[in-house]
Amino acid sequence: MQLSFDNTETAFAYKTDKELKSGRWLLKTMHYPLFVAVGTRITPFIMKTGLPVHGIIRKTIFKQFVGGETLEETKKVCQLLGDYNVQVILDYGVEGKEGEENFDHAADEFIKVINYAATQEKIPFISIKVTGLARFGLLETMNSAPRLRSGIHDHEEETEEQDRVYDRMYRICEVAAEKGIGVLIDAEESWIQDPIDRLVIDMMRIFNKEKPVVYNTIQLYRHDRLHFLQMSHRIAKQKGFKMAVKLVRGAYMEKERARAAEYGYPSPIQPDKESTDRDYNAAVKYCIDNVNEMAVIVASHNEESNLYTTRLLDEKGLAHDHPHVHFSQLYGMSDNITFNLAKAGYSVSKYLPFGPIREVIPYLMRRAQENTSVSGQTGRELILVNKELQRRKAS
């Protein structure tokens, strides 16, 4: 069938008129950068004061972008999406807690999510952040100290701390491999990314022998990541494991540029959007060209990149639901991409975070900022929602 991301009837079939109008109001609010800038600064503070805003947040931005406060609450969303052949990537969206006890608790929670996903038909993946399992400062030290890369380290306490991080990740991936659930490991800031990459490659070497279980995330707004993808694939071939990646454009651009300027080193970020788009599509092509040796998740809200991927599959005569090719978008965004891909038979999912409202506030604030900063994203969403409401009214 001819694939189009303009088909709003398919895109919003799962939403009622009331839900569409509520979403439209939220998108209109996010269309004002000043409002979002003020809101994202004061909301975390207001939540800490105990003022009665919990209900307002739950009915608006939380409902738009989050699956629920508990695993059980996500079930209704997962079933609804599943009715339209859309799968789910579950993300326990609690962030920013440090301390060994919290890291151990997070590992246990991730394992709980894996066990739950294994009982559900439409949840093939879960997503995790290494900073949920490891102290940020430890990752910074590991990133910058050559002695740690060589394995020679004088500080026994930090060596033991590294071992505990490794053990947490091993436990998570071991259960995932047993249960047949993929583990997507998020990319983070460039100044802690090297130890994350090394840890992920090590887990792939152990658990991706026969099929992809552990996925690394490649941020193509970094100018070195296309080369890193190719290098990782070479390592996978040498070591005899399946390479698996999630391709994203990236989420820390302003922070990356500011830090590079502050510390006086070259920015790791691409010089312009065109360079990011070029490398993203080149990464997609590289993965599709090597699809028998590696698995790829095209995690993008860019319509052109998604269409480009579908064209590559058709050109190579590959099935729309090829087991090594998956598409994904965030819950609450780009339904026109997700649901039209699903209807055309592609393997596609929504990235669905869950967790107590107070603890997913950092995630929600990023979504608000992203919808304001991504060029044309909110405007495009608004046009599509209005188009569908008008279509329904006319019919």
Identify the CA nearest to 178 among candidates 216, 210, 146, 134.
210
Mean pLDDT, the chain, whole residue set: 89
Average pLDDT over residues 18-38: 72
- Give me the half-sphere count of Cα atoms (radius 13 Å) on the Cβ side of residue 361: 18
* Residue 13 is assigned to a structural domain of this protein: no
Residue 96, pLDDT > 70, answer no
* Residue 25 is assigned to a structural domain of this protein: no
Residue 227, pLDDT > 60, answer yes
Q: How many percent of the chain have pLDDT more than 90?
A: 73
Give the range of the structural domain holding residue 111, as residue numbers without chain letter: 67-357
What is the tens place of the pLDDT at every residue in 351-377? 999 988 877 777 766 666 555 544 456
How many Å apart are CA 313 and CA 245, to the nearest integer?
A: 17
* Residue 372 is assigned to a structural domain of this protein: no
**Residue 317, burial from CB neighbour count under 10 angstroms (0-12, 13-18, 19+):** exposed
* Residue 292 is assigned to a structural domain of this protein: yes
- Assign 18 a pLDDT band (cuts: 50, 70, 90): very high
Residue 152, pLDDT > 50, answer no
- Assign 172 a pLDDT band (cuts: 50, 70, 90): very high
pLDDT for 314: 96
Residue 125 is encoded by which pair of tokens? 């993946």
pLDDT for 27: 76
How many Å apart are CA 366 and CA 344, to the nearest integer?
A: 31
* Residue 261 is assigned to a structural domain of this protein: yes
* Residue 37 is assigned to a structural domain of this protein: no
Average pLDDT over residues 247-271: 93
Residue whose pair of structure tokens reads 């983070």 in the numeric block:
188
* Residue 12 is assigned to a structural domain of this protein: no
* Residue 214 is assigned to a structural domain of this protein: yes
Buried b (16+ CB within 10 A) or exposed e, 377-386: bbebbbebbe
How many Å apart are CA 278 and CA 300, to the nearest integer?
A: 14
What is the tens place of the pLDDT at every residue in 104-140? 999 999 999 999 999 999 999 999 999 999 999 999 9
Residue 190 sits in a domain of what CATH number?
A: 3.20.20.220
Residue 257, pLDDT > 80, answer yes
pLDDT for 340: 98
Q: Provide the domain count of the chain.
A: 1
Name the residue with higher pLDDT: 87 or 38. Answer: 87
